[in-house]
Amino acid sequence: MTFELPADVQAKNASLCGEFNQWKPTAHPMKQRKDGRFSTTIPLEAGRTYRFRYYLDGQRWENDWAADGYAPNGFGTEDSLVKL
């Protein structure tokens, strides 16, 4: 599964965090493309729904603007959902 984050987030660094990596910011760093977008591809099991978010510049969380859905989390915000 490929995850992409647009350049509009105006970040220098981005990481993909979610249930699939125990929300560890160092597990899936994203590569910045020439046009400013960030992306990464990771293997995920089909037939499941995963919670995830992006961690930007080691200080702020961002949801995926094109997620399959959103679900409340225990921090008073929402997590993005991807359904495979």
Binned at pLDDT 50, 70 and 90, residue 67 comes out as very high
Q: Which pLDDT score, from 0 to 100, does residue 17 have?
A: 98
Residue type, 54: Y
Contacts of 9 (CB under 8 A, 6+ apart): 38, 54, 56, 62
Q: Which pLDDT score, from 0 to 100, does residue 4 have?
A: 96
Binned at pLDDT 50, 70 and 90, residue 81 comes out as very high
Phi and psi for 69 in degrees, rounded to 5?
A: 175, 180
Question: What predicted TM-score, i.e. pTM, was given to this entire model?
Answer: 0.94
Q: Which pLDDT score, from 0 to 100, does residue 39 have?
A: 97
- Residue 74, both tokens: 């225990």
Summarised one tens digit per residue, pLDDT across range 32-44 is 999 999 999 999 9
